[in-house]
Amino acid sequence: MTVFEEMAEDGVIWQNGEFVDWADATTHVLTHGLHYGTGIFEGVRAYDTEQGTALFRWDEHLDRFYQSAKPYDMEIEYSREELTEATLATIRRNDLESAYVRPIAFYGYHSLGVSPGDCPTDVVVAAWPWGAYLGEEALEEGIEVMVSSWRKHASSQIPTNAKTTGLYVNSMLAGEEARRNGFAEAIVLNKEGNVAEGPGENLFLVRDDTIYTPGLSESILDGITRDTVITLAEERGYEVNDTTSISRGELNTADELFFTGSAAEVTPIRQVDNVVIGNGSRGPVTEELQQAFFDLVERRTDEHDDWFTYV
């Protein structure tokens, strides 16, 4: 039985201001967001800590949620306080000690021209158990990735700083291409041919104990886990270059590479295409930052308590 099948037995989802049974959380087939990808969303982790279940960096995710709606003139009628309480209640009512949380807003059912016109904005919060995104073994052993033939769109085409539902077709194409070729995940280049990110992750490169990650101008999403790892690295004395451009060739000569993301957390990369990275396993800098990350989110340290919203 899949996680969703289990949740369908007695789970609930918050939909437009009220809780509905998991199986009844539906929308019309002529919903605007279904046809045109006109929706925005977040992916948030809630961790099981000694102090209780806690959402990680909820405020920052909520900031980005509202900011993502702006380019699409999407008005979210619920306040930050209302969405926060809806999210906490969703976790409680589903009796989840740890969870992946998905707030989503999209243009709903009213008309089907490209312009959303008077279509309502539907808002939904769901939560369910979700382990390591790329597999538990990937966190320790690392993954093999390929550079995708698909390029990341530029911010002059579609806003890259908005977490938009329809844009993840680009991610799906890159990820499925990688999996068809026997790799766990993809790396996507931008239109200039420099490294952008993964399909659902930001990328970090380590060379001579200095850390590099593509800047926001490289057509990347401003990842919240990316920001977390930058902060943790700088607190541990590392020099972090977070406005840089990384060429495709630099991937091959890196000492270490790793992905970050709310779903992926901190996942090492051991091979790109046919090139082994470093010694072909999780590198020491990656391991240190990964350990620091999990110590933080599982509250084995009292650092950054303001990053946690307790359920």
**Catalytic residue numbers?**
163
Structure tokens at 97: 């000690």
Q: Residue 244 burial by CB count (10 A; 0-12/13-18/19+): exposed, middle or buried?
A: middle
Q: Which two tokens stand for residue 189?
A: 């280049």
Contacts of residue 105, defined as CB under 8 A and 6 or more positions apart, other chains included, come to: 39, 40, 41, 65, 69, 74, 76, 121, 122, 123, 124
Tokens of 281: 């396993």
| Residue in this structure with the two tokens 């999996």, named with its chain if needed | 179
Spell 226-242 as b/e; 16+ CB within 10 A means b.
bebbbbbbeeeebebbb
Question: Could you give the maximum distance between any two Cα atoms of the chain, in Å?
Answer: 57
